[in-house]
Structure 1
Amino acid sequence: LYTSFAVLGVLQSIKTDHGPAYASQRFLQLCTTWGIKHITGIAHSPTGQAIVERAHQT
């Protein structure tokens, strides 16, 4: 993420799935330190996350 910050600037929000990499204390600390709002899942569509994961074959 630090490389993307250098190119794009610090993000206002990051939208991810509920994967373990994005649920870790370390990631939460990064978001808190940089003032980034962390959004998970697809709120308006309960099956939306499954569709995305199917497309990515995860």
Structure 2
Amino acid sequence: MAAPDAEDVAAQERYTAGHFRTVAGADPHERIVTLMVVEPLQVTEVSTALDDMPH
């Protein structure tokens, strides 16, 4: 997980080049950050559709 400043486009581009993706924005203690994560393919390829979930 990474949390570069929301206005730091260069940092966000570097993280994106390292396969991070943006998941949310946050406003902790007087600054706004972009929350970014990198996950293994086996996690990102899992369907989250309700019809695919076991009931």
User: Same fold by TM (over 0.5)?
Assistant: no
In terms of fraction of residues, the more helix-rich structure is 1
Could you say which structure has the larger radius of gyration? 2
TM-score (norm 1): 0.29
